[in-house]
């Protein structure tokens, strides 16, 4: 299990982002940067993050209506259940006023109210959708209903800016689901049609889709190089040549974290064998591991 988690971590740090994050479907909020370490989270679940969405305006005070604005709205709306909607709306407005000058901030507030009205109406629309046994048909019907509903609240340009990226992701995902569920396709035909979809992806999306395989192959080469005596500097150069210097540095951090974890596990296991007293064992855990890390210890006991 830990090996699989390590691969996932390597892929994530090497890629440095992804097509899924571009679409922001259930995307994680941005971590708090060092300069923003004193940011106070609006809701408890957002602790350790800062408001998402790089909301901007041009020099002539024209608001950039793009996916970043929707990301900011969704960051706060994720707190529904912890805070009432009125409080969330007020907090979004405060954040918009903090980031933008008065004219674009006013435009962003107008779009916020349209966005909230759209989201409320979407609940009723989704409840009224006919039952569909096929998940691809169900997903396509929902997307079509969403697209039709948006015209009641936004201009065509606003729709393209706010929802263009997420729609592109949804359409690609639905098409792949339809291909994979088509019993009439041979395996060769299925692979051919999926390859057509891959070719339509933006270049960055294609690169990031291929990142897991590329990183796994690289790490296999790294393991072989280490077995032959390669030092950390040689490993860094290998990774930098295959990925980038920044990715190589991030992967080196993963290596150090993994080595530190394995060292602490080895010490803990040796000390744990010296006593059967559970209180003493808990003291060992508390001395070497954080509360979150202790949740992983049963796999080593």
Number of folded domains in the chain? 2
Q: Indicate whether 39 and 164 sit together in one domain.
A: yes
Asked if residue 22 is part of any domain, the answer here is: no
Q: Indicate whether 35 and 161 sit together in one domain.
A: yes
Q: Indicate whether 57 and 165 sit together in one domain.
A: yes
- Per-residue model confidence (pLDDT) at position 30: 42
Range of the domain at 242: 1-14+207-301
The low-confidence residues of the chain, meaning pLDDT below 50, are: 1-5, 17-39
Q: Indicate whether 109 and 8 sit together in one domain.
A: no
- Beta-bridge partner residues of 31: 49
- Per-residue model confidence (pLDDT) at position 100: 97
- Per-residue model confidence (pLDDT) at position 197: 94
Q: Indicate whether 62 and 7 sit together in one domain.
A: no
Render 180-226 in DSSP notation, one character per residue. Answer: HH-TTS-HHHHHHHHHHHHHHS-HHHHHHHHHHHHHHHHHHHHHHHH
Asked if residue 24 is part of any domain, the answer here is: no
Q: Indicate whether 177 and 213 sit together in one domain.
A: no
- Per-residue model confidence as pLDDT tens digits over 210-246: 777 788 889 899 999 999 999 999 999 999 998 889 8
Q: Indicate whether 99 and 143 sit together in one domain.
A: yes
- Per-residue model confidence (pLDDT) at position 164: 94
Q: Indicate whether 101 and 157 sit together in one domain.
A: yes
Give the contacts of 10 (CB within 8 A, at least 6 positions apart).
215, 216, 219, 251, 254
- Per-residue model confidence as pLDDT tens digits over 132-175: 888 999 999 999 999 999 999 999 999 999 999 899 989 999 99
- Per-residue model confidence (pLDDT) at position 8: 54
Encoded tokens for 27: 């995307």
Q: Indicate whether 161 and 212 sit together in one domain.
A: no
With beta carbons less than 8 A apart as the criterion, state whether 23 and 167 touch: no
Q: Indicate whether 165 and 37 sit together in one domain.
A: yes
- Per-residue model confidence (pLDDT) at position 12: 58
């Amino acid at each position: 299990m830990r090996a699989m988690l390590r691969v996932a971590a390597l892929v994530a740090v090497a890629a440095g982002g992804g097509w899924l994050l571009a679409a922001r479907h259930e995307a994680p909020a941005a971590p708090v940067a060092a300069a923003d370490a004193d940011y106070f989270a609006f809701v408890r679940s957002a602790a350790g993050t800062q408001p998402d969405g790089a909301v901007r305006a041009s020099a002539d005070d024209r608001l950039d209506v793009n996916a970043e604005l929707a990301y900011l709205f969704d960051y706060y709306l994720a707190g529904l259940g912890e805070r009432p909607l009125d409080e969330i709306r007020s907090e979004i407005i405060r954040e918009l006023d903090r980031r933008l000058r008065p004219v674009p901030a006013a435009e962003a507030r107008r779009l916020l109210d349209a966005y909230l009205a759209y989201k409320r109406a979407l609940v009723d629309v989704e409840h009224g959708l006919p039952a569909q046994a096929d998940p691809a048909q169900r997903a396509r019907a929902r997307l079509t209903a969403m697209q039709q509903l948006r015209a009641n609240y936004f201009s065509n340009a606003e729709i393209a800016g706010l929802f263009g990226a997420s729609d592109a992701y949804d359409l690609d995902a639905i098409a792949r689901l339809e291909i994979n569920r088509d019993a009439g396709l041979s395996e060769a035909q299925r692979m051919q049609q999926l390859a057509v979809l891959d070719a339509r992806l933006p270049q960055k999306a294609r690169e990031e889709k291929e990142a897991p395989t590329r990183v796994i192959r690289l790490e296999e080469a790294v393991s072989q190089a280490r077995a032959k005596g390669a030092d950390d500097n040689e490993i860094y150069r290998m990774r930098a040549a295959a990925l980038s210097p920044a990715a190589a540095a991030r992967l080196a951090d993963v290596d150090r974290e993994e080595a530190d974890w394995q060292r602490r596990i080895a010490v803990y296991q040796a000390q744990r064998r010296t006593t059967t007293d559970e209180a003493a064992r808990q003291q060992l855990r508390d001395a070497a591991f954080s509360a979150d890390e202790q949740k992983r210890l049963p796999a080593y006991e």
